[in-house]
Structure formats: C-alpha cells, structure tokens
Structure 1
C-alpha cells in the first residue's frame, strides 16, 4: 500500500497543477520584503519641516525660498509635518496641533493656498528633492466633517460617545474605527489624491502601528501604481517592512543613545540594538536613527539637554552606523530651544552664524554620499564589531563592500580612552574624516580618543 501511494502521488500532483509544487524547495529561504525601495532613497537623508516654525512667516512660500540652503546642506527627502486644516473643537493652545486633522483633502490656510503648496513641491522637485507628507490616519479632529456625516466610522466609549486614543492625553482628537471599509476608502483616497494631483513622493505615517498593517500594504501597492513612493512609519515592528514601509523608527537606538549620553549606560548598551538589527530585522529595512524630531524637541528636551557633550559623537554614529538619519529643522542652526507645539514659535536661524554643529551635519552627509558602504538598507554594508580591550568605552566597527571600507571609532564615555584593537578587522590604510590625513591601522595597535571623541576612517576601491 505504501509503494502504491508513492507511485500515485506524482500523478495527483500533475493533475492538480503540481509541477510548480514539485519544483519548489520548501526549505529554500523566502524573501520577506515584497516592496521595492525607490532608487532615490539609496543614500537619502531626511529633513523634517514644521512649516509653522520653519520660517518667520510660517508659510509654504517662505519655505520654498529656503530650498537652495537645504540643497547646499545635502539633504534629500523633505518631510512636511501635516499640511491640513486643524480642528477648532477641543483645540490645544491658540493654533492647535497639526495632528488634529479637520480635512484630509485641504490645505491649512495658516500655511498658504493649494497653489502655493504646489509651487513648493514643484520647486523642490526641480532642485532634486523628494517630498513626503505627514499622514494622520489613526484619528481626526472632533470637527472633521466625517464625524457628522459618518459617526459610525469612529470608535466609541462604553457610553457610545466619540473618544480620543485611549490612555494618551490626546484630547483634541477622536479615533477612527478601522474595521469600517469607508474609513479605509476615505483615507486611502486622500493618500492617492496628494500623490496623483500634487506629485507627492510618499508619506510619513503618524502612529502607523495603531492602524492595521494590511491597510498600509494595500496603499503601498496602490500608490506605487501611480509613482514610486517612499514610506516612513512611526512604528518599530518588522512586519511593517514586509509590504508597506521602507523605513520605520529606531526608538530603541534613540533612547539608548540618550541613556549613554547622560551616564545611564555605556558603549555595550548598544550591543543589543545592533544585534537585533542584524538578526531580527530584514536586510532591506531602513531604521530611522534620529537625534531629534518634533516630539523629542517639544516633550523631551533639546539636542543639548538630551545629549550634552555626547552630541557630536552620537550624531556621527547616527549618520554612519546602520540607519537612516534625520535632521529636524533647526538642528543645523544649533537650536537650543524647545519649540512651542501649539503656537507659532519661529526658529531663530541667527543661532547658526557660528554653529559648528551645522557644518558637522553637512560634512557627515557628504561622507555618507562618498562611501557606498554607508548607504541605506539593502544598498549599504552591515556593521561588524571591532573587538578591543575597552568595550565599555570604545564602540568600534567596520562597514565594507566592493572595496569601500569605513572604520568607526567612538568613545562613548566622558573620560579619555586608550584601547588595543584585538583583531585585524580594522587593519588597513585609510583617509581621516574631514582632514584627509593618511592613517594606517594594524592588529594590536592602540587608539586614543578624548572624552566623547570619534574618528571615521575610509578607503575607497579606487
């Protein structure tokens, strides 16, 4: 009987179209990521614009005049915080939160007209930028017309009333009910509208993890059919990289780097993050390693409050280790102020007149561009640990591919360090970041760095 079953099995497979099954190896590795990252995101650096604060005027037209300066800085993808009208019911502060959206299909008159917004996008494209919009899908303003026209599209309290997102103090918004097809159609249609009609290049999705992942996957397919898009999700889960997002937040990196900066950790505190990044996350995933964004500036502190003397070293690590770097508007001007979130609070750009940090950001961007091993996601190289005898202070690594090799040496402590390189991974001849000085390393060499000092060494294939 067993022999008969064995003989019949191939016939059954053939009758059922089993040729494909017979030739498929069930143990062969399968690709987890099903989206294609746009080619222009290969070495991209993000720049976040809060239109309300970015210029003294707080308008699209004024922001457009700043594009040449951003081009000189070297950033690539401009992320605009929500551009839509802001709810008035239960509004926080005088002007309210941009994340309290009154109409997904309109432009906030505080920032200008639709034509002025279109002009900003067109000018950005002409100067080589790509533009992504902040999308708030989880919730709307209380006075969004949807609440009156389709109350069944919203989640309710046990008493049947509209409700904000549970547990948070987001009293100026109410949650959408994502089990309702109408919600998906309305928000998805808005996403398509801005891409199709204004040439938007993608989205940063606010609290993306609070919205079902299948919606994002559906929309990625639909948007890519219009034009190749880039999607950044405010979430830290691998599943969101399968078929929706190119990049997600590296919250663990951000929080760990701040803990080290304030003395609540040391260089080994990053081992867990980078081990997980290599072993758990897909190779194609871009994880946004950021020093500051609008939330951290408003609610956690400025770059100086959060990082102190560790700021430059941690910034260099964010730009050269595995990760997608972000510049929050004002960082390049050494902004040392917590910007008001619900009011107009224009950035004081005069702070940048003698701001060496801004020059560091520009130099790091140029360094990333010049070294393909440092590029994003699937295009860049993995980090490999350089073993040394002072691991609690010296965080050392190599990234190399196709003849390009970069060595990173970071003293993540407030004391000077002299460490011995225990293996030959970093051995070679290099050029020093910024100075161009020739440097040679060998196994067993010692390296010395001042408190919070760092060195970047590179070698090209040429």
Structure 2
C-alpha cells in the first residue's frame, strides 16, 4: 500500500477535525461554486462520439459545444477496461481495470489534458465519471483480496447481475485511501473540475463526505454530482443529484399513463425530501436511458421538445446527452463501437436551435438560475390543472412565465391571474407579449414568456 500523500493527509486531518464541529457548520450543499447556477451539463461518450472514438477527434467539436452554450462537459469513464468477463468486443466503461491509467482506445493522458485545456479556454468545466463501487474482475487492485467483498466461500462478489465487475469492500481503510488518492490524481494530473459519481448510493456516505472535503482542499471549486436520489448524500458530500423519479414520471406522462398531477406530486416529494440547496439534475436522456430503455423519441414521442424545455425552467440543472442537440434517434451500442450521426457541416438541426435558445434563456435570466440564486417556482392556477402546468419564477426584475400542455390534444386554458404583459417577450421569436388571462395550446405545446 502506497503512503498517503502529504496533501491527502492534511485534507483527511481537516475532515477529522470538522466532524467535531458544532451543528451549525456550513454544509457542502450550501457552498456551490458560482459556475453551476446557470450551467447545462453535457454528457460525452467518447467511444461513440466520432468515427475515430478518440479524445483528439472529440476536441474538434468543442467550438460547436461552446456555441451551443454548454457549461459542463461530463466524460463517461476514461480508464482501462477489464478483459475478464468482458461484455462485447470493447467492454463496459464502468468495468475499470486501473483507476489512474487512460484507456488507449481513446488516446493518451496528454490527449485528454489537451481536451480539458481547450474546454477551459472555451469557458467550459470538465467532470469525470467516477466508479467507486466496483472494479473489473482483473483490476490491479485484486492483489489485495481484502479490498473486495466476498461470499461465504471466499468468492469475490459481483453487484447485481454485473458479471464483469467485482464489488469493493468499504470496511477496508487502505482501499478507501487508495480510492481517494486516485480521485485526487485526476484533479492534479488532468485538471478536471469535479466528478459524476456512479451508483453513489452503493458507496458509504461517510466516504463521499471525506472525499469531498479532501478534493475541496485540493481544488475549492470542485463540483460533485451523485447518480442517486438519496438526501443524505447531498447534506455534505454532493452538490447535485439525479431527479430519477421525476424523469420516470415524464416518461409516463408522455405515454398517457400520467398527468400534470404526476409531475407535481413527484416534484413536491423531492422538494420535501431534499435540502433547499441540493440541486436536482433533470434530463430526458442519458447513456443508460438511451442504450437500455430507448431514445427520448421512443419514450416521449412528440412530447420531446416540451419536456426538454421543462428541464430548463424548473429549479435545477439540465442535462444533454451527446447527440440530443441534433435529434439523434438511435440507441447507441454500449459494449461495441458505434457512431453518432452528426449533420453535415453547415447544416443546423432544429434541435440545435432549440437547445441554443433554451441554454441562452437560462443563462441570461437570473429567475431561472438554480436553487438559491434563482427564483422560486410559484404555480399560476388555471382551469385544467391536470392537463396544463402553469407557473412562474421571479428574481428581482427578472421573470419567466411558463405554460405547458401535457396532453396530446389542443386546449384553451384560462388563468386565475393575467400572465406576461408589459415588458415580456415570447420565447422562440422574442416578440413582445401582451397580458393574457387565457392561452390556446396545441397538443404538447408550451409557451414561455420572459422579462429581464
């Protein structure tokens, strides 16, 4: 076992001291770095992004993503992939053989650092997908058998039915230290700005709290996203979490299996469970949904633009999975090579235009900033609350009024108060809006009115 670095030791000592602080200690959830409040997260699947499937090929897309308005690039795991029990010809990104070795399929560490540098120069941050729950079944760590969970016969266990991975033992302090050192290595060596943590709820919360303290000692503006929906993770360790339940409710509503009450109830439960400053991440797709449950078009049909817009106006952070910005409508292979079909150079897809406008609206109107920096969501009562969701967000002189028809039929909705009016402009065309007490909406149509 390598000795813990001096920096890591200092960070762990600081954490130990903090555990004895009084109850009014400021939590991590109240210390979000400033660049998260208006940011869109963009998930990058390097293998499938280009024909080459390399860092260098992806780097050529950074100017396009800058123009789109992306704030944070989230890279799926980049490390070497195990060969024992490998799935498919290339294996799962989440079956990591060596935490501090770059998968040569994508290029070199120098290639990735070039991507990070160019992203930073383009005003974007970079976070790395981190798999702390398990390694591949031929990982370099397997020389330490007590770092793994074993059954009664001494066989190393695989979580769930994931036959290509081995579950780590968080009762082992040496393993915990090595995991933390590996995370810090990527911050030091590659200059990344945070982590998206895979199945974060499968790893003890106290490890994440310790890790976040150490990472913030190394880089104070680190950003932590949990692939989980467990409030205790966002008390001290994580800035943001997956709004999984809300995502599933969106899919249900799109299929006619739910209505606005389904969305409203999910949101209210989420708000009741989580601290006000914990940031929900909303999404219509991601790598799991795309590969295993279908594209957003399979799951949401004609409602895709409507739900995309919703993810931008709710208090939280929106996610784009690579290809969504060009209406890519195919399930990507997970264990084998595949390609996103990008439009020809100079051709602008209608979804590119939509996401550019949504991102620009969120960045330019503080009412839409996330959590305490933005405006509260206040419902505007209407005469068909199970079909139409109408609400507003206000921050100082900034306002956004939102009206969504979550049905496949045209409606005329009447409000208990006037909406829009003097100083407001309509989203999409930026034309001035008049005050209204009713609006006609086509199937799955939405209207946004904003004022700065």
1:412 aligns with 2:418: no
SS at 1:452's partner residue?
coil
Q: 2:439 — aligned with what?
A: 447
Q: 2:12 — aligned with what?
A: none
1:75 aligns with 2:70: yes
Contact 1:194 1:200 in 2 (8 A): yes
Structure 1 gap segments, 5+ residues each: 1-23
Q: 1:255 — aligned with what?
A: 248
SS at 2:80's partner residue?
coil
Q: How far has the Cα of 1:314 moved from its partner?
A: 0.6
Q: 2:417 aligns with which of 409, 413, 423?
A: 423
Mapped to 2, the partners of 1:410 and 1:425 lie a distance apart of: 13
SS at 1:438's partner residue?
coil
Mapped to 2, the partners of 1:378 and 1:215 lie a distance apart of: 27
Q: 1:401 — aligned with what?
A: 395
Contact 1:285 1:378 in 2 (8 A): no
1:217 aligns with 2:206: no
SS at 1:420's partner residue?
strand
SS at 2:382's partner residue?
coil
Change (3 A) 1:385 1:31: farther
Q: 2:358 — aligned with what?
A: 364
Q: How far has the Cα of 1:355 moved from its partner?
A: 2.5
In the TM superposition, structure 1's runs of 4+ consecutive aligned residues that sit over 6 Å from their partners are none
Mapped to 1, the partners of 2:30 and 2:173 lie a distance apart of: 24
Contact 2:132 2:203 in 1 (8 A): yes
Mapped to 2, the partners of 1:94 and 1:333 lie a distance apart of: 28
Q: How far has the Cα of 1:362 moved from its partner?
A: 0.9
Q: 1:198 — aligned with what?
A: 190
Q: Deviations over 1:284-319 (max 9, x none)?
A: 111110010000000000111011011111100011
Change (3 A) 1:439 1:427: closer
TM-score (norm 1): 0.90
Q: 1:138 aligns with which of 133, 138, 143?
A: 133
Q: How far has the Cα of 1:424 moved from its partner?
A: 5.2
Q: 2:377 — aligned with what?
A: 383
Change (3 A) 1:339 1:389: same
Q: How far has the Cα of 1:172 moved from its partner?
A: 0.5
Q: How far has the Cα of 1:396 moved from its partner?
A: 0.5
Q: 1:10 — aligned with what?
A: none
Mapped to 2, the partners of 1:351 and 1:386 lie a distance apart of: 43
Single out whichever of 226-235 and 352-361 deviates more from structure 2: 352-361
Q: 1:123 — aligned with what?
A: 118
SS at 1:436's partner residue?
coil
Contact 1:131 1:201 in 2 (8 A): yes
Q: How far has the Cα of 1:152 moved from its partner?
A: 0.7
SS at 2:215's partner residue?
helix
Q: What is the Cα-based RMSD across aligned positions, in Å?
A: 1.8
Contact 2:408 2:443 in 1 (8 A): yes
Q: Deviations over 1:99-139 (max 9, x none)?
A: 00000011000000111111111111111111000000000
1:334 aligns with 2:327: yes
Mapped to 1, the partners of 2:92 and 2:413 lie a distance apart of: 49
Q: How far has the Cα of 1:426 moved from its partner?
A: 6.3
Q: Deviations over 1:129-182 (max 9, x none)?
A: 1100000000000000111x20011001222101110xx321100100111101
SS at 1:93's partner residue?
coil
TM-score (norm 2): 0.92
Mapped to 2, the partners of 1:209 and 1:316 lie a distance apart of: 29
Mapped to 2, the partners of 1:354 and 1:423 lie a distance apart of: 39
Q: 1:16 — aligned with what?
A: none
1:242 aligns with 2:208: no
Q: 1:13 — aligned with what?
A: none
Structure number, greater radius of gyration: 1
Contact 1:130 1:201 in 2 (8 A): yes
Structure 2 gap segments, 5+ residues each: 1-21
1:93 aligns with 2:88: yes
Contact 1:77 1:131 in 2 (8 A): yes
Q: 1:44 — aligned with what?
A: 39
Change (3 A) 1:260 1:428: farther
Q: Deviations over 1:48-107 (max 9, x none)?
A: 000101111100111111110100010010000000000000000000000000000110
Q: 1:19 — aligned with what?
A: none
Change (3 A) 1:193 1:354: closer
Mapped to 1, the partners of 2:295 and 2:409 lie a distance apart of: 23
Mapped to 1, the partners of 2:266 and 2:421 lie a distance apart of: 25
Alignment length, in residue pairs? 429
